[in-house]
């Protein structure tokens, strides 16, 4: 399969084809998702919650993100690889934001970064784009600042807030963002943003009218049990599968069933005889 490019994503929007994006945090998962044919793989700062055990994404650092992005890069050959810029990495100064975005490209081999909306983010996004680094925007619910904005939940329910989100998406497109994540907004608002923007929209909890869809892979696989957003569709229950496998392992070890002969290697009899003779071993053969 040919490598996915940003031009491919734009062409797909023009022809009405749906885009697919999932998150990955390590080499094995990245390899499987890439082989499945995903268009975009996102190294999401959601790893703070689903991998590192934080209550929110806020504590995730650049070093955390780079560590996981490097692992994912080694497993991705086809999909476009995008990394979330973590909290504060693009909020302190424009120069620092460009520097941090550059690390994702130079050190981790990512092909783009994603930034969440905040007031005045347009200048930062433009500076990153001008530095030659593609930027994916993110409007609606922005998890990094959700706690200070009333918690997690639907955004754009009222006409005034919906108009603000639409304006945010348009402004990010105008400074060069190549795609836009729309998180937890009403379907009609997502449909209007998708209609207005020339760049692809990728929805999460925003209805079916977006140009593509994204989920946190651990939610999709049933690997994160702390909570499940209402917009998530579980395609597997791997938490249960893993618990059952671990329980079976525990029982087999305690019962002396594992390891069995088929899992055990032994020394050839003549070599064992030499071993016993040379060391005075008291162990019986077999």
The Cα 238–Cα 222 span in angstroms is: 5
Residues marked active site are found at 183
- H or E stretch covering 170: helix 159-174
Closest CA to 51 of 77, 23, 12, 76: 23
Q: Is 143 helix (H, G, I), strand (E, B) or coil?
A: helix
The Cα 271–Cα 153 span in angstroms is: 68
24 vs 7, 73, 79, 198, CA distance in Å?
23, 10, 12, 27
Do 112 and 91 form a contact (C-beta atoms < 8 A)?
no
Joined together, the tokens standing for residue 36 give 């499945």
CA–centroid distance for 12 within its chain: 22
Do 41 and 77 form a contact (C-beta atoms < 8 A)?
no
């Amino acid at each position: 399969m040919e490598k996915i490019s940003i031009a491919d994503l734009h062409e797909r929007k023009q022809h009405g084809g749906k885009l697919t994006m999932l998150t990955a945090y390590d080499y094995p998962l990245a390899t499987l998702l890439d082989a499945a044919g995903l268009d975009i793989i996102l190294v999401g700062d959601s790893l703070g919650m689903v991998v590192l055990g934080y209550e929110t994404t806020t504590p995730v650092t650049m070093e955390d993100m780079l560590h996981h992005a490097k692992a994912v890069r080694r497993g991705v050959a086809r999909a476009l690889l995008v990394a979330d810029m973590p909290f504060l990495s693009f909020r302190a100064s424009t120069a620092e934001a460009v520097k941090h975005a550059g690390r994702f490209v130079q050190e981790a081999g990512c092909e783009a970064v994603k930034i969440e909306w905040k007031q005045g983010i347009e200048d930062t996004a433009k500076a990153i784009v001008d530095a030659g680094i593609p930027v994916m925007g993110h409007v609606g619910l922005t998890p990094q600042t959700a706690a200070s904005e009333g918690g997690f939940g639907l955004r754009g329910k009222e006409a005034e807030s919906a108009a603000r989100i639409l304006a945010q998406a348009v402004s990010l497109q105008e400074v060069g963002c190549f795609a836009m994540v729309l998180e937890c907004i009403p379907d009609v608002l997502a449909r209007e943003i998708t209609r207005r923007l020339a760049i692809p929209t990728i929805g999460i909890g925003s209805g079916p009218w977006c140009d593509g869809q994204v989920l946190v892979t651990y939610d999709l696989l049933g690997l994160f049990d702390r909570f499940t957003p209402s917009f998530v569709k579980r395609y597997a229950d791997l938490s249960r599968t893993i618990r059952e496998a671990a329980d079976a392992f525990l029982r087999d070890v305690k019962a002396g069933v594992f390891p069995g002969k088929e899992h055990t290697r032994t020394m050839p009899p003549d070599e064992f005889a030499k071993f016993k003779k040379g060391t005075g071993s008291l162990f019986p053969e077999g």
